[in-house]
Protein backbone atom coordinates (compact mmCIF):
# COMPACT_ATOMS: atom_id res chain seq x y z
CA UNK A 1 0.00 0.00 0.00
CA UNK A 2 3.03 2.26 -0.18
CA UNK A 3 1.71 3.92 -3.34
CA UNK A 4 -0.99 5.77 -1.38
CA UNK A 5 -0.62 9.33 -0.23
CA UNK A 6 -0.25 9.87 3.53
CA UNK A 7 -3.45 10.02 5.55
CA UNK A 8 -5.06 13.40 6.08
CA UNK A 9 -5.09 13.53 9.91
CA UNK A 10 -1.38 14.32 10.44
CA UNK A 11 -1.61 16.92 7.65
CA UNK A 12 -4.56 18.58 9.34
CA UNK A 13 -2.68 18.73 12.63
CA UNK A 14 0.34 20.24 10.94
CA UNK A 15 -1.80 22.96 9.40
CA UNK A 16 -3.25 23.77 12.82
CA UNK A 17 0.20 24.04 14.40
CA UNK A 18 -0.14 20.83 16.39
CA UNK A 19 1.74 17.58 16.14
CA UNK A 20 3.43 17.41 19.55
CA UNK A 21 2.20 14.70 21.91
CA UNK A 22 -0.12 16.07 24.59
CA UNK A 23 -0.49 13.51 27.42
CA UNK A 24 -3.54 15.34 28.77
CA UNK A 25 -5.31 15.40 25.41
CA UNK A 26 -6.65 18.42 23.54
CA UNK A 27 -10.21 19.72 23.40
CA UNK A 28 -11.57 19.73 19.83
CA UNK A 29 -14.60 21.21 18.08
CA UNK A 30 -18.03 19.60 18.45
CA UNK A 31 -18.27 18.50 14.82
CA UNK A 32 -15.00 16.58 14.76
CA UNK A 33 -16.80 13.32 15.55
CA UNK A 34 -18.20 13.33 12.02
CA UNK A 35 -14.73 13.86 10.60
CA UNK A 36 -13.33 10.93 12.60
CA UNK A 37 -15.87 8.61 10.99
CA UNK A 38 -15.05 9.99 7.55
CA UNK A 39 -11.37 9.33 8.15
CA UNK A 40 -12.23 5.85 9.42
CA UNK A 41 -13.97 5.21 6.11
CA UNK A 42 -10.94 6.52 4.21
CA UNK A 43 -8.72 4.01 5.99
CA UNK A 44 -11.16 1.19 5.24
CA UNK A 45 -11.36 2.17 1.58
CA UNK A 46 -7.59 1.84 1.19
CA UNK A 47 -7.63 -1.91 1.75
CA UNK A 48 -11.20 -3.20 2.24
CA UNK A 49 -10.21 -6.82 1.62
CA UNK A 50 -7.72 -6.92 4.50
CA UNK A 51 -10.11 -5.02 6.77
CA UNK A 52 -13.01 -7.40 6.16
CA UNK A 53 -10.72 -10.40 6.65
CA UNK A 54 -9.57 -8.96 9.99
CA UNK A 55 -13.18 -8.39 11.07
CA UNK A 56 -14.15 -11.96 10.17
CA UNK A 57 -11.13 -13.53 11.89
CA UNK A 58 -11.68 -11.44 15.02
CA UNK A 59 -15.35 -12.43 15.12
CA UNK A 60 -14.46 -16.12 14.76
CA UNK A 61 -11.86 -15.88 17.55
CA UNK A 62 -14.27 -14.14 19.91
CA UNK A 63 -17.10 -16.60 19.20
CA UNK A 64 -14.74 -19.55 19.73
CA UNK A 65 -13.43 -18.12 23.00
CA UNK A 66 -16.90 -17.39 24.34
CA UNK A 67 -17.94 -20.98 23.68
CA UNK A 68 -15.54 -22.03 26.46
CA UNK A 69 -17.33 -21.54 29.80
CA UNK A 70 -15.90 -18.85 32.09
CA UNK A 71 -12.26 -19.09 31.00
CA UNK A 72 -13.08 -18.34 27.37
CA UNK A 73 -15.08 -15.25 28.22
CA UNK A 74 -12.32 -14.00 30.50
CA UNK A 75 -9.71 -14.60 27.81
CA UNK A 76 -11.80 -12.64 25.31
CA UNK A 77 -11.98 -9.68 27.70
CA UNK A 78 -8.24 -9.76 28.36
CA UNK A 79 -7.30 -10.09 24.69
CA UNK A 80 -9.58 -7.42 23.23
CA UNK A 81 -7.16 -4.55 24.07
CA UNK A 82 -4.34 -6.60 22.51
CA UNK A 83 -6.29 -7.01 19.27
CA UNK A 84 -7.29 -3.34 19.38
CA UNK A 85 -3.68 -2.28 19.88
CA UNK A 86 -2.57 -4.33 16.91
CA UNK A 87 -5.29 -2.92 14.67
CA UNK A 88 -4.37 0.61 15.72
CA UNK A 89 -0.74 -0.07 14.81
CA UNK A 90 -2.03 -1.23 11.44
CA UNK A 91 -4.05 1.99 11.13
CA UNK A 92 -0.90 4.02 11.71
CA UNK A 93 0.99 2.10 9.05
CA UNK A 94 -1.87 2.43 6.59
CA UNK A 95 -2.33 6.13 7.36
CA UNK A 96 1.35 6.78 6.66
CA UNK A 97 1.23 4.92 3.35
CA UNK A 98 2.77 1.71 4.68
CA UNK A 99 1.75 -1.93 4.52
CA UNK A 100 -1.48 -3.24 6.02
CA UNK A 101 -2.61 -6.84 6.18
CA UNK A 102 -4.23 -9.52 8.32
CA UNK A 103 -1.13 -9.67 10.52
CA UNK A 104 -2.11 -6.27 11.93
CA UNK A 105 -4.69 -8.06 14.07
CA UNK A 106 -1.88 -9.81 15.96
CA UNK A 107 0.65 -6.95 16.04
CA UNK A 108 -0.34 -6.12 19.62
CA UNK A 109 1.10 -9.44 20.77
CA UNK A 110 4.53 -8.21 19.69
CA UNK A 111 4.38 -4.75 21.28
CA UNK A 112 3.46 -4.04 24.91
CA UNK A 113 1.26 -7.13 25.04
CA UNK A 114 1.40 -7.48 28.83
CA UNK A 115 0.29 -3.89 29.39
CA UNK A 116 -2.51 -4.30 26.86
CA UNK A 117 -3.71 -7.40 28.69
CA UNK A 118 -3.65 -5.41 31.94
CA UNK A 119 -5.95 -2.83 30.36
CA UNK A 120 -8.38 -5.69 29.77
CA UNK A 121 -7.92 -6.90 33.35
CA UNK A 122 -8.62 -3.46 34.82
CA UNK A 123 -11.62 -3.04 32.55
CA UNK A 124 -13.03 -6.39 33.69
CA UNK A 125 -12.50 -5.44 37.34
CA UNK A 126 -14.42 -2.24 36.64
CA UNK A 127 -17.26 -4.17 35.02
CA UNK A 128 -17.47 -6.51 38.02
CA UNK A 129 -17.67 -3.53 40.38
CA UNK A 130 -20.47 -2.05 38.27
CA UNK A 131 -22.35 -5.36 38.21
CA UNK A 132 -21.98 -5.69 41.98
CA UNK A 133 -23.45 -2.23 42.51
CA UNK A 134 -26.34 -3.02 40.15
CA UNK A 135 -26.98 -6.33 41.90
CA UNK A 136 -27.01 -4.74 45.34
CA UNK A 137 -29.41 -2.01 44.28
CA UNK A 138 -31.70 -4.22 42.21
CA UNK A 139 -31.58 -7.14 44.64
CA UNK A 140 -32.21 -4.90 47.61
CA UNK A 141 -35.21 -3.33 45.92
CA UNK A 142 -36.61 -6.75 44.97
CA UNK A 143 -36.18 -8.02 48.54
CA UNK A 144 -37.81 -4.92 50.00
CA UNK A 145 -40.65 -5.19 47.51
CA UNK A 146 -41.20 -8.82 48.42
CA UNK A 147 -41.43 -7.98 52.11
CA UNK A 148 -43.92 -5.18 51.46
CA UNK A 149 -46.40 -7.38 49.64
CA UNK A 150 -47.85 -7.58 46.13
CA UNK A 151 -49.31 -4.04 45.82
CA UNK A 152 -46.70 -1.50 46.91
CA UNK A 153 -43.97 -4.11 46.67
CA UNK A 154 -44.23 -4.30 42.88
CA UNK A 155 -43.74 -0.56 42.61
CA UNK A 156 -40.66 -0.69 44.83
CA UNK A 157 -39.19 -3.59 42.85
CA UNK A 158 -39.80 -1.90 39.48
CA UNK A 159 -38.40 1.38 40.76
CA UNK A 160 -35.34 -0.41 42.06
CA UNK A 161 -34.83 -2.07 38.69
CA UNK A 162 -34.87 1.24 36.83
CA UNK A 163 -32.58 2.78 39.45
CA UNK A 164 -30.15 -0.12 39.01
CA UNK A 165 -30.16 0.42 35.23
CA UNK A 166 -29.46 4.13 35.67
CA UNK A 167 -26.58 3.34 38.02
CA UNK A 168 -25.17 0.85 35.51
CA UNK A 169 -25.31 3.45 32.74
CA UNK A 170 -23.78 6.12 34.97
CA UNK A 171 -20.87 3.83 35.87
CA UNK A 172 -20.31 2.10 32.52
CA UNK A 173 -19.93 5.34 30.55
CA UNK A 174 -16.91 6.54 32.60
CA UNK A 175 -15.44 3.03 32.36
CA UNK A 176 -15.77 3.08 28.57
CA UNK A 177 -14.18 6.54 28.53
CA UNK A 178 -11.23 5.14 30.46
CA UNK A 179 -10.55 2.35 27.97
CA UNK A 180 -11.35 4.21 24.73
CA UNK A 181 -7.84 5.55 24.09
CA UNK A 182 -5.96 3.28 26.49
CA UNK A 183 -4.75 0.70 23.90
CA UNK A 184 -3.52 3.50 21.62
CA UNK A 185 -1.64 5.21 24.45
CA UNK A 186 -0.04 1.90 25.43
CA UNK A 187 1.13 0.87 21.95
CA UNK A 188 2.09 4.30 20.61
CA UNK A 189 3.54 5.90 23.75
CA UNK A 190 4.32 3.00 26.08
CA UNK A 191 2.23 4.50 28.86
CA UNK A 192 1.41 2.23 31.81
CA UNK A 193 -2.12 0.75 31.79
CA UNK A 194 -3.67 2.71 34.68
CA UNK A 195 -2.04 5.96 33.56
CA UNK A 196 -3.28 5.33 30.01
CA UNK A 197 -6.82 4.74 31.29
CA UNK A 198 -6.66 7.91 33.36
CA UNK A 199 -5.44 9.93 30.36
CA UNK A 200 -8.15 8.38 28.18
CA UNK A 201 -10.86 9.31 30.66
CA UNK A 202 -9.52 12.87 30.95
CA UNK A 203 -9.40 13.32 27.17
CA UNK A 204 -12.92 11.98 26.69
CA UNK A 205 -14.18 14.24 29.49
CA UNK A 206 -12.69 17.25 27.69
CA UNK A 207 -14.50 16.24 24.51
CA UNK A 208 -17.94 15.18 25.72
CA UNK A 209 -19.79 17.06 22.98
CA UNK A 210 -17.68 15.72 20.07
CA UNK A 211 -18.03 12.20 21.46
CA UNK A 212 -21.77 12.65 21.92
CA UNK A 213 -22.12 13.62 18.25
CA UNK A 214 -19.80 10.77 17.27
CA UNK A 215 -21.69 8.25 19.42
CA UNK A 216 -25.13 9.15 18.08
CA UNK A 217 -24.00 8.89 14.46
CA UNK A 218 -22.10 5.66 15.13
CA UNK A 219 -25.17 4.15 16.82
CA UNK A 220 -27.37 4.98 13.83
CA UNK A 221 -24.82 3.60 11.38
CA UNK A 222 -24.48 0.38 13.37
CA UNK A 223 -28.28 -0.06 13.42
CA UNK A 224 -28.32 0.30 9.64
CA UNK A 225 -25.36 -2.08 9.32
CA UNK A 226 -27.26 -4.74 11.29
CA UNK A 227 -30.17 -4.81 8.82
CA UNK A 228 -28.60 -7.09 6.16
CA UNK A 229 -28.09 -10.04 8.58
CA UNK A 230 -25.44 -8.04 10.40
CA UNK A 231 -23.10 -8.20 7.41
CA UNK A 232 -22.72 -4.44 7.43
CA UNK A 233 -20.77 -4.77 10.67
CA UNK A 234 -17.90 -6.23 8.64
CA UNK A 235 -17.53 -2.69 7.34
CA UNK A 236 -18.60 -0.77 10.43
CA UNK A 237 -16.09 -2.43 12.76
CA UNK A 238 -13.11 -1.40 10.56
CA UNK A 239 -14.56 2.09 10.11
CA UNK A 240 -14.97 2.43 13.87
CA UNK A 241 -11.39 1.29 14.53
CA UNK A 242 -10.15 3.74 11.93
CA UNK A 243 -12.16 6.49 13.59
CA UNK A 244 -10.64 5.62 16.98
CA UNK A 245 -7.20 6.06 15.44
CA UNK A 246 -8.22 9.36 13.82
CA UNK A 247 -9.61 10.70 17.10
CA UNK A 248 -6.51 9.59 19.00
CA UNK A 249 -4.19 11.37 16.56
CA UNK A 250 -6.17 14.59 16.67
CA UNK A 251 -6.62 14.69 20.45
CA UNK A 252 -3.23 13.38 21.60
CA UNK A 253 -0.73 13.67 18.78
- Mean pLDDT across the stretch 152-175? 70
DSSP at 23: T
Distance CA 251, CA 137 (A): 37
Q: What is the pLDDT of residue 189?
A: 94
Closest CA to 241 of 1, 80, 28: 80
pTM of this prediction?
0.82
Question: Domain boundaries in the chain?
Answer: 26-252
Q: What is the pLDDT of residue 133?
A: 81
Distance CA 105, CA 238 (A): 11
238 pLDDT band, cuts 50/70/90, is very high
For the segment 212-231, what is each residue's pLDDT rounded down to a tens digit? 999 999 999 999 988 878 88
Amino acid sequence: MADHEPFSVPQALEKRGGGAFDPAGRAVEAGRGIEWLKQGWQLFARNPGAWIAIAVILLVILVALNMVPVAGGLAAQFLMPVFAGGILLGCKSLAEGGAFGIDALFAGFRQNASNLVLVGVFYLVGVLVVMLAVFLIGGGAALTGGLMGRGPGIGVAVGGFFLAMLVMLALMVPLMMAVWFAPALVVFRGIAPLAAMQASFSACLKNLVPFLVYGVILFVLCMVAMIPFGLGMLVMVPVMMGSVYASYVEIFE
